[in-house]
Structure 1
């Protein structure tokens, strides 16, 4: 069990912008941020994230809450699992308690294994020879903490000797149990590359075989701390350089990253054996750098570059593509001493949109009119997915590539989104301001308990009922918190004045209703009128009066 004090300490460090931004690409919008909502089929940014309120809320589907709630909903995790995930993101060590309430520190299996693998490398000549042949200096071996995973039995023995169980290692993807019930280490006879989260916490490993295994490279499996779709190898070392240089070089492998850093290209990172996806965008867009895709020139590399270029261009991310030909990759070029040529290539990549159009058209036989028409349709469909100004700028280039007159190339206008955030059709600003004041200062609820009933709220009855019930995570209350044009009362005197006005309006309506009540006899009506007028007299003097109901009349 996670110690409650440990959870509270972690909560104090959480920033909802950082947490949501870890998963989604946020754009500044006034005092808040917004993005497409991942909890429904959103085509326009409906999810708003408030740094001042530390909440997120979708104005279309109503999803919302705090940073922990977001991780629970996005990753489909339980509360304890979400806490552990956030601890991993923030590089925070949780404290656990056993059934007796005794505290124990988080077991750092991956950290221990990383040191062990580095020690094993020093005793494995074959692994060291491989690294030397690839041109990797000892300083880079140390910088990237490259190691060597010995046979399975040796790793399991190490874990046991250092107080770790197989289940401890299994939880973080370092070991598993086979169908025969026997445990085994996931990394064996492989050069190891520790993988870190952006905050600098080790979350897994990559491994390169030197024993001829059919799987040349393997990564840690999905675990509570490891999700390769949200990680970039080397980012924790490159992030400061990326922010400074405003450029990030994305490569296909560990060795490319290491060799590029060795050559002075310190903004290089790599995807982890997977294509670049939308889940990488929040990390790639931090600091708004220009993105350079550095991919191999084989069929797989070009296909991956095309897919990534389409993704990045549709999200209006600046940058371009460098394709390496003749079977070379960045690591090979560094080893051959071609750093100057690499610098030239990285400084002038082919822009994403141009690369996409060129590769799309190359897949068709333009001598065949039918295929030329298909090339035009596919290319214009791609341009349609881009911002209008960008799409229009490339119409002329597309016409030149196809050998057509520019008036024959027209990009269709994008349809307007149909699921825009719900509009505020009717609202009562006074009611909303009272509710928002109590949300901002919960102690004010004591002031209104005897004075106000939910039935007094003609427009925002449900919201006030949720407030009285303590349902602070109610979607309608989150919505009120995020409406910047609804202001809470800064001083208690202002709040009391608003209550007087609110109550005065309510009792004025009740007075009119009593006067129209033809079913009442003269004596009863006269008594009620005098009673309501007495209440209103006190209110006009600035006195607050306890709530009285006349609804049974």
Structure 2
């Protein structure tokens, strides 16, 4: 059997039908480099791509943090889902049935997740029916038409309508077999005794969303995980989101990311806006690499998600003070994250929705091309305060600018910006530089902000001699002949991870005596001791002038070292025998040592080898 209760046959069928490059490419912006694909690692912070995917071997490896594995490993590490859930999801995509009992996921939590998922899908269909209803949906259709939203865009984003009726959704879902507890768990209904209202409602519950245009929030697995609603007419809050549920975490989710990820990967850029209509309007205008926050500030988890798809980020917030503050708050999240961030400022009175309807995609492209970096945007904001304020304001603003510049890890970048700031304010550049130590000491006393992503710390690599590493590399590349393998011994390798690799390789020899590389990778790719080593060696590109000669040389070196270790052990044993006056052992050991010295440059004959083991 495979992992859990899922058979190896099912696991292998699914893996053979998917292409890891296609799956990874849905989450990481990849570019082709030789035979492999490269991108920024989604599992740690880096500025230069070290995350590599091999279509031919169906594995991935990050040379920065050491993460590696197959398509199952990637999705488990990326989503946090368990192995059975990943297998089941991939199985549905490629048409391989995975028994529901497989994986031991019959727990109450698993059942609840499944019911919330099905309930959200049913609720989304209900809201769409209500929007199309001739009478009930008329106000919402008129509103969407007034916002310039086309019918095909409504269909693409599955936009719906929650009617004014107090418990319309609740009654509809109860008829479909869901329970009041299901509706509460999904955040779609609220118990009446919590409402403070005197209304009566089905089963003592009322709908959370009423008289609102509804936007399903879809995750990267294409599941409806929550909803956002924009009220029709007056009322507060203008926008209302589902509460967090076992299926929905607001600080990890971006609206329309599932629709944007392909375009974001192709352009290596993701545009971040603040509202549902902003995202929808830009998509409708043909700007498809756009996602929106859900009424909250960007979080470290958001940055981690964004890095899977893009290396460039465009912040497109409203031009009012709230929008400026929202952009400035992201500085600590993005600084030194490996992402290039720019800020597009819209004309006063416009938001992304209204601007793109006026000027179209070309108008936005013009703004984008002139957009400053997030660092420059933050500096400019502080400089405007310095130029227009009192002396005290200017001092505070200068300190703010220097603190911003301190966040940059690039000394040349800092120096150039300090020069520009000094010129702008008519101050001495040296005076600004002299101010740095004081601010630096203040910063060290402050609590450190939570990092946006895990620091780039590589996993410890097993130490091995060059000959050992080269032989292991050529082994997983399938370059060792049957004769080479007969000369290969796990005991000749100094590191346990290498010994484990060689032992397993010798167990995966085919009828012709060569190693089945695919079988070896399947066995070891997730091995705790040497999985990372195997993925790294599989992805490493190293040139050898003469492969057979290099293999022979490495084997000769390992055998020579083995003989030297044997010689050393025999000498130590001889000394012990002499001290203990074991004459027979002294005679035997002297004979073996003398024969080894005579044959120092060659290979020990079988008779001598047997004698050593006596």
Greater shift in the superposed pair: 173-182 or 223-232: 173-182
- Report the equivalent of 1:378: 400
Query: Are residues 1:114 and 2:124 paired?
Result: yes
- Report the equivalent of 1:502: 558
**1:67/1:227 Cα in 2 relative to 1: closer, same or farther (>3 Å)?**
farther
For 2:230, what is the secondary structure of its paired residue? strand
Q: Provide the rounded CA distance (Å) in 1 between the counterparts of 2:402 and 2:150.
A: 48
Name the structure with the higher helix share. 2
**1:263/1:507 Cα in 2 relative to 1: closer, same or farther (>3 Å)?**
closer
The CA deviation at 1:253 is 0.8
The CA deviation at 1:9 is 5.1
Query: Are residues 1:217 and 2:239 paired?
Result: yes
Query: Are residues 1:15 and 2:14 paired?
Result: no
Query: Which runs of structure 2 are paired with 1:67-86 in the superposition (5 Å)?
Result: 68-69=72-73, 72=76, 77-81=81-85
- 1:61-103 Cα offsets, whole Å, 9 max, x none, are x77655545655666554445557x759x977885535599xx
The CA deviation at 1:319 is 3.1
Query: Which runs of structure 2 are paired with 1:171-186 in the superposition (5 Å)?
Result: 173=186, 175=188, 178=191
Query: Are residues 1:396 and 2:433 paired?
Result: no
Greater shift in the superposed pair: 185-194 or 67-76: 67-76
For 1:218, what is the secondary structure of its paired residue? strand
**1:259/1:167 Cα in 2 relative to 1: closer, same or farther (>3 Å)?**
same
CA contact (8 A) 2:131 2:141 kept: yes
Name the structure, 1 or 2, with higher relative contact order (CA <8 Å, separation 6+): 2
CA contact (8 A) 1:399 1:405 kept: yes
Q: Provide the rounded CA distance (Å) in 2 between the counterparts of 1:248 and 1:46.
A: 18
Which structure 2 residue ranges, 5 or more long, are not aligned? 104-113, 194-202, 445-454, 505-522
- Report the equivalent of 1:142: 155
- Report the equivalent of 1:527: 588
The CA deviation at 1:303 is 0.8
**1:112/1:523 Cα in 2 relative to 1: closer, same or farther (>3 Å)?**
same
CA contact (8 A) 1:429 1:486 kept: no
Greater shift in the superposed pair: 132-141 or 277-286: 277-286
- Report the equivalent of 1:428: 465
For 2:427, what is the secondary structure of its paired residue? coil
**1:159/1:400 Cα in 2 relative to 1: closer, same or farther (>3 Å)?**
same
**1:243/1:543 Cα in 2 relative to 1: closer, same or farther (>3 Å)?**
same
CA contact (8 A) 1:295 1:324 kept: no
The CA deviation at 1:246 is 6.9
- Report the equivalent of 2:575: 518
Greater shift in the superposed pair: 362-371 or 266-275: 362-371
Q: Provide the rounded CA distance (Å) in 2 between the counterparts of 1:65 and 1:214.
A: 49
CA contact (8 A) 2:6 2:102 kept: no
The CA deviation at 1:408 is 3.1
For 2:297, what is the secondary structure of its paired residue? coil
The CA deviation at 1:254 is 1.2
CA contact (8 A) 1:310 1:353 kept: no
The CA deviation at 1:17 is 9.6
For 2:127, what is the secondary structure of its paired residue? helix
Q: Provide the rounded CA distance (Å) in 2 between the counterparts of 1:546 and 1:120.
A: 89
Task: Using structure 1 for the length normalisation, give the TM-score.
Answer: 0.72
Which structure 1 residue ranges, 5 or more long, are not aligned? none
Q: Provide the rounded CA distance (Å) in 1 between the counterparts of 2:391 and 2:482.
A: 74
- 1:140-185 Cα offsets, whole Å, 9 max, x none, are 32343211235575434544555667787788x4657859897776
Query: Which runs of structure 2 are paired with 1:237-276 in the superposition (5 Å)?
Result: 237-238=259-260, 248-263=270-285, 265-276=287-298
**1:128/1:461 Cα in 2 relative to 1: closer, same or farther (>3 Å)?**
closer
Q: Provide the rounded CA distance (Å) in 2 between the counterparts of 1:448 and 1:480.
A: 18
Q: Provide the rounded CA distance (Å) in 1 between the counterparts of 2:208 and 2:565.
A: 74
Q: Provide the rounded CA distance (Å) in 2 between the counterparts of 1:367 and 1:264.
A: 42
The CA deviation at 1:119 is 1.6
Aligned match of 1:473 in 500, 503, 527? Answer: 527
Query: Which runs of structure 2 are paired with 1:78-477 in the superposition (5 Å)?
Result: 78-81=82-85, 95=97, 97-98=99-100, 109-123=119-133, 124=136, 125-150=138-163, 153-159=167-173, 173=186, 175=188, 178=191, 187-197=209-219, 202-210=224-232, 214-222=236-244, 226-238=248-260, 248-263=270-285, 265-281=287-303, 284=306, 291-308=313-330, 311-312=333-334, 314=336, 315-326=338-349, 328-333=350-355, 337=358, 339=360, 344-362=366-384, 368-369=390-391, 371-386=393-408, 387-410=410-433, 421=458, 427-436=464-473, 452=489, 454=491, 456-457=492-493, 459-461=494-496, 463-464=498-499, 468=503, 473-475=527-529
The CA deviation at 1:317 is 0.9
Greater shift in the superposed pair: 240-249 or 295-304: 240-249
